Amino acid sequence: MNYEVIDSHCHLDFPKFNKDRHETIMRAKESGVVLMINSGIDYKTNANSLELAKKYDFIHATLGLSPQMVPETNNERINQILAQMERNVDKAIGIGEAGLDFYYCTDEAGKQKQKEVFQKVIDIADQYNKTLVIHGRDGEELALEMTRDLDRVVFHCYGGTIETMKDIVDAGHYVSVPTLVCFSDHHKEIAKNLPLENMLIETDSPFLSPRKGRNEPVFVRDSVPVISQLKETDEAEIAKATMQNTLRAFEL
């Protein structure tokens, strides 16, 4: 179907796209993916995201510090990344991805370090009035508690409980449904229960592909008919709502 969509979270700077980055971007654009939000996770990818946003007027950058990076990153480097965020905040539409990931990190010292760093990132988003993009795997409830008072928050690639999702919605935050919805029963349940006015859609490219091989922004379109069926709403309405929500979430 002929409708416009936004990929609210991708990593087009990652090495998986080195051979055909421009072609991948244009393939998405020509298919009706009118905006792509490229999310940084560390110093290098933040810089890369800013470069992409400079090169393509339909790509926007967010500047992040992934919780997966935090336990093994020394404090000096963490402070460099935080300073980089502040220095470039006016060139980005949001801060993130950042948050808590307790899926692999099970030791208390690692969790504590994640919490401390996340709080510093929250403070930057708050100080500069930027949308915060949260990575919250197995840490969704605590991430919500830490960000409840912020104005604009997106829980990217949400995979937590339905109960916590409802709390996120009650706080006025947004929840982004990944292309996992095409094959994951849990993500189908999330999409079914998530109010359309709080929903964004994303690929998280090059990860979580609904097709064989790597994911890419054009595949965000695969999610629309699936969500349409779950919501018993036509595809154009899903595309329009998620697009408007993304523009509102990031004040675009």
Domain with 211, as residue range(s), is 5-249
Per-residue pLDDT tens for 135-144? 999 999 999 9
Global model pTM greater than 0.85: yes
Q: State the CATH number of the domain containing residue 173.
A: 3.20.20.140
Look at the chain and report how many structural domains it folds into: 1
What is the model's pLDDT at position 105?
87
State how far the Cα of 99 lies from the Cα of 50, in Å rounded to an integer.
Answer: 21
State how far the Cα of 144 lies from the Cα of 139, in Å rounded to an integer.
Answer: 9
Per-residue pLDDT tens for 104-130? 888 999 999 999 999 999 999 999 999
Confirm or deny that 135 is annotated as ligand binding. yes
Per-residue pLDDT tens for 215-235? 999 999 999 999 999 999 999
Query: CA separation (Å) from 238 to 6, 20, 35, 224?
Result: 11, 30, 16, 6
Confirm or deny that 9 is annotated as ligand binding. yes
Confirm or deny that 204 is annotated as ligand binding. yes
Residue 1's Cβ-count burial label (10 Å; 0-12, 13-18, 19+) is: exposed
What is the model's pLDDT at position 214?
97
Confirm or deny that 97 is annotated as ligand binding. yes
Query: Average pLDDT of 172-196?
Result: 98
> Is the per-residue pLDDT at 1 higher than 80?
no
Per-residue pLDDT tens for 36-46? 999 999 999 99
